[in-house]
Chains A and B, each alone.
Chain A
Amino acid sequence: MDVFNAIVQTLDSTIRLSVPLLLACLAGLYSERAGIFDIGLEGKMLVGAFAGAAAASVFHSAFLGLGMAILISVAFAMVHGFASITHRGNQIVSGVAINFVAAGSTIILGQAWFQQGGRTPALQPGERFEAITLPGADAIHDVPIIGPIYAELLSGHSILVYLAFLMVPFTWWVLFRTRFGLRLRAVGENPAAVDTAGISVAWLRYRALICTGVLTGIAGAYLSMVQNGGFVKDMTAGKGYIALAALIFAKWKPVNAMFACLLFGFLDAAAIRLQGSPLPIIGKVPVQFMQALPYILTVILLAGFIGKAIPPRAGGVPYVKER
């Protein structure tokens, strides 16, 4: 039974750890499917995390915090759009710039406003998103097998966790079942076809980036308002890049993205779980190795285990009308 509990607990933290990856990955999916590479997912998550925690702490409202996280993150996405859509700048450079601005500005503003070394004040109850207990979770908690799975694994998460997983079928539906999705996929493959069909390439790409901004905003809010009780500098810690790796691993498909993010989340959870405890045969593994494992696996997976990943054909190329 101990083993079973350990497994349930590991899977539970897998879910918690994969949520920010999943939101960022879906965010990247919208922009890359529309032909805009977005290496700035990391920065947008970071400003989202900061804005969310700061606003929640000042206005004492979790939902106001979430709203501010989304707003600021979308604003950064629009900067990326202005540079790379309107002015046809290099998308990688623009994305990297956003990451730098995000890393620097959150610390400076945090210090200026809260004087806590770049942190935001610890969030109080009501300023954070609390865990939701699903109906009947307490009642069946003691039922063997099903009880812990329902009560621990499925119940007891914040609303943002459920939202993140609901975004998977929703994103799939938007991409493959709506007019907006058809046009979004088309503009990432052949913007000239979209242009000659009488649709504005720029406006379509801006809308895709708004979707990206909204999702990275939620991802950031999750980090500072659910996983952590406040903003800490550089708290995204490369999750934006892991999300990009997951996106390639998932071949730009929403359901695949969910599984890719769960896998990366699981590695993270396993690394935490196995820290310090000896493994059979191998013996004790250094903590640093366990922490590096998800990143090592990312490199290995991307280097060859996923087969050919074909990115959207117009990805990274600014659209210039030419005849």
Chain B
Amino acid sequence: MAQAAIELIGINKSFGAVRANRDINLEIARGTIHGIVGENGAGKSTLMSILYGFYQADSGEIRVGGQPASIKTPNDAIALGIGMVHQHFMLVDNFSVLENIILGAESDALLKRSIAKARSELERLEREYGLEVDPDAIIEELPVGLQQRVEILKALYRGAEILILDEPTGVLTPAEADHLFRILRQLKEQGKTVVLITHKLREIMAITDTVSVMRQGTMVATRETKKTTVEELAELMVGRRVLLRVEKGEADAGAVKLAVKNLTVKDTRGVTMVDDISFEIRAGEIVGIAGVAGNGQSELLEAISGIRHAVSGSVMLDGKPIDLTGAADPGELRDRGLAHVPEDRHHVGLVLAFEENENSILGYHDDPRYLKGPFLNIDAIRNDAKDKIAKYDVRPADCRLKTANFSGGNQQKIVLAREMEQDPGVLIVGQPTRGVDVGAIEFIHKRLIAMRDQGKAVLVVSVELDEIRSLSDRILVMFAGRIVGERGPEATEGELGLLMAGVEHQEAAQ
């Protein structure tokens, strides 16, 4: 076995009563790609933040290259050759690539010399690792894939030998993710050590040499990637057997429930985001819309649910039109049987400062079930919330808890419970499992399929291809505001990925 680049021995870290890391032991071999998987809140990010000097461990020892190391600030970590690519990029959006790269690592009090030095160093890094990027480009004008490359270059410029990547593929298209993996393999060939934090098991299998699994703050297992399987890792992560692809029967599609015709939507700047889109959803089927984030899916969802003004086109719900002027009454749409689980649960779906039971009736508060004369019937609301909590396994099971104190996955369950339990005819769901753990994903997928089997029409918009493929009876791919293809659930990932990247679309245009 190669010499260890990093050894963590008996690391403990608590935040108040929460023990984020307990007695973690981990050894990462030099020149390998080491994956760390675990559900949200399993303590992966905390552990890496300790390694990067963002937090101090309560106890335990860190060794870098065999030597005991004291890492109190990110500066210490950088000096030891540890670089980190954060999940949310740590870039200054209106700075150039070069300015971002030298920030904090300037060679001189004057910028001119620092920039000149960085420019030549950047050329060398580009040659060595194939990391091409225009040094004078402004960050906010670059696609996310390139922004991430700047983050990697930033770490390499600081002389990183060990590169930690936190959920690096969350924002990337499949093609960009593949490119990232090529870069990581190249870094490995050059002798760098890569630590990859993710909850996507497929990526772990594709690229890592070794994988460690965390669960509830503890390190439960370390495996050689070649000798493990996705099923085993999922079981280790969740602590029980998990169905990665929910079983479902053939769809029994009935009458058209929702018909979208020639819908065009512009954003506030007047840019066309949804461009002349038409499709139908029938009772008893799930239609999935795949696409890279920002290709008009959000605007499409908002227009259908009556939140956003549509320039032209029509949307028919059970044969009757929906008001598309942006002034539709959401309450009326709910009465007509249209339920909407918004993409952004924090800003649109929930009031985080409310108690759970208040959120669980939000928008349905005029329902006589929850009223006693002109007043809210608090007992009825709380009992109703308790029922939903039990049925959807929301944790902690406390309907009086402030919603902000639930984890992302449980918040999502609160929204889903609210919308699904109204027994709508049409359910529109944006990003059903964004930020949700493997175990909860399985549950949410099962519920959505149960809705379908009860004869509801379900529209799912997701940037997760696996999710779209596993749920949908029909898959529509959106690119640049248009539907560029329709495929069945058997479509391969590569095929959909090309459509999502607009490849066929562009070829057809030429």
Contacts and interface: CB of A to CB of B under 8 A. Distances in A.
A183 interface: yes
A186 B95 contact: yes
B86 interface: yes
Given A196-B84, A321-B54, A323-B49, A177 B103 contact: no
Contacts of B88: 192
A196 B109 contact: no
A285 to B, nearest CB: 42
Contacts of B91: 190, 193
A183 B95 CA distance: 11
Contacts of A163: none
B112 interface: yes
B54 A323 contact: yes
A195 interface: yes
B90 A192 contact: yes
Contacts of B92: 185-186, 189-190, 193
A306 interface: no
Interface in A91-128: none
B46 A323 contact: yes
A60 interface: no
Interface stretch (B21-29, B73-81, B305-313): B73-81
Contacts of A83: none
A134 to B, nearest CB: 31
A182 B102 contact: yes
A199 B73 CA distance: 9
A189 B45 contact: no
Interface in A148-197: 176-183, 185-186, 189-190, 192-197
Contact of B104 (A189, A199, A313, A321): A199
A195 B94 CA distance: 17
A186 B45 CA distance: 25
B379 interface: no
Contacts of B73: 198
Given A186-B92, A193-B103, A178 B111 contact: yes
A197 B75 CA distance: 7
B114 A179 contact: yes
B490 interface: no
Contact of B103 (A176, A178, A194, A321): A194
Contact of B90 (A177, A180, A196): A196
A116 to B, nearest CB: 47
Contacts of B45: 323
B224 interface: no
B507 interface: no
A32 to B, nearest CB: 15
B450 interface: no
Given A193-B91, A321-B54, A323-B46, A198 B108 contact: no
Nearest to B77: A198
Contacts of B90: 190, 192-193, 195-197
Contacts of A193: 90-92, 100, 103
A183 B105 CA distance: 11
Interface in B456-482: none
A189 B89 CA distance: 13
Contacts of B95: 185-186, 189
Interface in A20-77: none
Nearest to A197: B104
B138 to A, nearest CB: 12
Nearest to B112: A177
Interface residues of A, number: 23
B93 interface: yes
A189 B106 contact: no
B93 A198 contact: no
Contacts of A199: 103-104
Contacts of B74: 195-198
A24 B315 CA distance: 56
Given A189-B94, A323-B49, A182 B78 contact: no
A199 B158 CA distance: 14
A179 B45 CA distance: 31
A183 to B, nearest CB: 7
A182 B94 CA distance: 12
A182 B75 contact: no
Given A193-B90, A197-B90, A323-B46, A183 B103 contact: yes
Contacts of A313: 93
Nearest to B102: A182
Given A190-B91, A193-B91, A198-B73, A177 B110 contact: yes
A199 B105 CA distance: 10
A186 B93 contact: no
A196 B52 CA distance: 9
Contacts of B54: 196, 321, 323
A177 to B, nearest CB: 6
B18 to A, nearest CB: 13
Nearest to B87: A323
Contacts of A177: 110-112
A177 B112 CA distance: 7
Contacts of A192: 88, 90
B39 interface: no
B99 interface: yes
B103 A197 contact: yes
A178 B49 contact: no
B135 to A, nearest CB: 15
Interface string B20-50: 0000000000000000000000000110010
Contacts of B100: 193
Contacts of A195: 74, 90
A193 B84 CA distance: 12
A121 to B, nearest CB: 44
B102 to A, nearest CB: 7
Nearest to A188: B92
A198 B108 CA distance: 16
A181 B106 CA distance: 12
Interface string B306-332: 000000000000000000000000000
B93 A182 contact: no
Most chain A beta-carbon contacts within 10 A, residue among B74, B78, B103: B103
Interface string A191-228: 01111111100000000000000000000000000000
Contacts of B114: 179
A4 to B, nearest CB: 44
Given A183-B104, A198-B73, 12 more contacts: A176-B111, A177-B111, A182-B103, A189-B94, A192-B88, A193-B100, A193-B103, A197-B74, A197-B104, A198-B75, A198-B104, A323-B45
Interface of A: 176-183, 185-186, 189-190, 192-199, 313, 321, 323
Those 7 A-B pairs whose CB atoms lie nearest each other, nearest first:
A197-B104, A198-B75, A193-B90, A198-B74, A179-B106, A196-B90, A189-B92
25 contacts: A177-B112, A178-B109, A178-B111, A179-B106, A179-B108, A180-B109, A182-B99, A182-B103, A182-B106, A182-B111, A185-B95, A186-B92, A186-B95, A190-B93, A192-B90, A193-B92, A195-B74, A195-B90, A196-B84, A196-B86, A198-B73, A198-B74, A199-B104, A321-B54, A323-B45
